[in-house]
């Protein structure tokens, strides 16, 4: 009773209520956006030791007619909550594979890899493997160029089903990266049993890296772990030359981050990297 008399909890409730209302509006609008061409993929380059582009991660963008660009950090959680992640994820898969298929006609784009983010619910659909197979076939995308980024939460919720599905997709030639590595709770023993190709070091562990090597323990541990498991490692959120230098010293040779490039519209990425573009 006392709590209701205070101003604070009430204001807190009002804020929650407003947030809930916004969420409901966004859900309705997102439902329409998925089918109406309001989504697009931006691509962020992944670069190798000589800072050459070796591929890209696709990041979904929503162009809202009134609210402008809405960030996936805002709408992906709503999509996951409401099930809209299924049609959204299917759209991302189609669009990503369409791009990969298109790239096959360009000698400089043809060898690039493309990474797509896959949500837990999307991956857990019983027909996910069929969806991927059908989409690859329809778009002419080479499966060896496609990487699916999964998160640790997926691996925790249904280990056996996950491993089985990963193995079936792997037989097609698809690769897997574990996203945001270090932020979840997967056990090391379990990690070893997964058919993974790459660990992505979360931005949180890259942020603190400085040349004096004082702040490196977590990044260093993840890189050593990847090496001992025979996995590749990508550092995300690289924003400075110093960070990439330290990562290279620690043995990480693939990077992604604003220091190299921000995510850009797919057409721009293709133009910058195609065989008709000046070098
Ligand atoms: P993520 O998969 O961890 O993607 C990396 C995020 O870090 C992206 O944010 C990217 O723009 C941002 N980033 C890249 N380099 C830097 C940097 O140097 N500094 C900083 N501060 N940030 C950097 P974005 O595009 O806002 O995406 C946020 C999250 O939304 C993604 O995190 C991913 O979890 C989710 N997401 C994005 N696209 C998709 C999608 O197509 N499907 C699904 N299921 N989730 C997606
Ligand atoms: Ca990702
Ligand atoms: Ca990530
Ligand atoms: Ca993240």
Q: What does each C-alpha distance from 167 to 5, 79, 175, 238, 262 come to in angstroms?
A: 58, 27, 10, 31, 32
Estimate the share of the chain in helix, then strand, then coil, as percent rounded to the nearest 5: 50, 20, 30
What pLDDT was estimated at residue 275? 83
What pLDDT was estimated at residue 1? 44
Residue 4 and residue 11: Cα distance in Å, rounded? 10
State in Å: Cα 256 to ligand 1 middle. Answer: 11
Indicate which atom in ligand 1 lies nearest the CA of residue 41.
Answer: 41
Q: For the chain (length 279 residues), average pLDDT per consecutive 10?
A: 55 84 92 94 98 98 94 95 96 98 96 97 96 98 98 81 95 96 77 92 91 80 94 97 95 98 97 81
Provide CB contacts within 8 A for 256, sequence distance 6+: 44, 45, 46, 47, 57, 234, 235, 236, 237, 238
What pLDDT was estimated at residue 9? 64
What pLDDT was estimated at residue 33? 95
Residue 153 and residue 120: Cα distance in Å, rounded? 7
Whether 258 lines ligand 1, by a CB cut-off of 6 Å, is yes
What pLDDT was estimated at residue 219? 92
Whether 73 lines ligand 1, by a CB cut-off of 6 Å, is yes
Residue nearest to atom 20 of ligand 1 (CA): 237
Whether 119 lines ligand 1, by a CB cut-off of 6 Å, is yes
State in Å: Cα 149 to ligand 2 middle. Answer: 6
Q: Determine the 3-state secondary structure of 275 from DSSP.
A: coil
State in Å: Cα 3 to ligand 1 middle. Answer: 39
What pLDDT was estimated at residue 62? 97
Question: Taking the alpha carbons of 55, 169, 42, 177 in that order, is the dihedral positive or negative?
Answer: negative
Indicate which atom in ligand 1 lies nearest the CA of residue 258.
Answer: 18
Whether 46 lines ligand 1, by a CB cut-off of 6 Å, is no
ipTM of the complex: 0.98
Structure tokens at 213: 């090597």
What pLDDT was estimated at residue 7? 55
Whether 47 lines ligand 1, by a CB cut-off of 6 Å, is no
Given a contact cutoff of 8 angstroms between Cβ atoms, the answer to whether 268 and 107 are in contact is no
Element (H, E) at 265: strand 264-265
What pLDDT was estimated at residue 160? 86
Mean pLDDT of the chain: 91
């Amino acid at each position: 009773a006392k709590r209701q008399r205070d101003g604070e909890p009430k204001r807190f409730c009002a804020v929650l209520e407003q947030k809930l209302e916004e969420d409901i509006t966004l859900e309705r609008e997102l439902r329409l956006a998925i089918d109406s061409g309001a989504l697009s993929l931006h691509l962020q380059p992944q670069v190798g030791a000589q800072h050459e582009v070796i591929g890209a991660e696709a990041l979904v963008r929503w162009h809202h007619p009134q609210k402008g660009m809405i960030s996936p950090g805002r709408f992906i959680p709503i999509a996951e909550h409401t099930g809209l992640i299924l049609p959204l994820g299917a759209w991302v898969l189609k669009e990503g594979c369409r791009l990969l298929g298109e790239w096959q006609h360009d000698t400089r784009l043809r060898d690039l890899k493309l990474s797509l983010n896959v949500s837990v619910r999307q991956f857990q659909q019983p027909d996910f493997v069929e969806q991927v197979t059908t989409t690859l076939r329809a778009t002419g995308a080479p499966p060896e160029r496609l990487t699916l980024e999964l998160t640790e939460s997926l691996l925790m919720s249904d280990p056996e089903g996950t491993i089985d599905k990963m193995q079936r997709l792997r037989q097609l030639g698809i690769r897997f990266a574990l996203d945001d590595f270090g932020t979840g709770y997967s056990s090391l023993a379990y990690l070893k049993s997964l058919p993974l190709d790459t660990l992505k070091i979360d931005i949180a562990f890259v942020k603190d890296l400085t040349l004096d090597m004082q702040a490196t323990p977590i990044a260093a541990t993840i890189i050593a772990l990847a090496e001992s498991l025979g996995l590749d490692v990508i550092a995300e959120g690289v924003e400075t030359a110093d960070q990439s230098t330290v990562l290279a010293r620690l043995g990480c040779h693939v990077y992604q981050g604003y220091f190299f490039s921000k995510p850009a519209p797919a057409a721009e990425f293709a133009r910058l990297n195609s065989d008709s573009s000046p070098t």
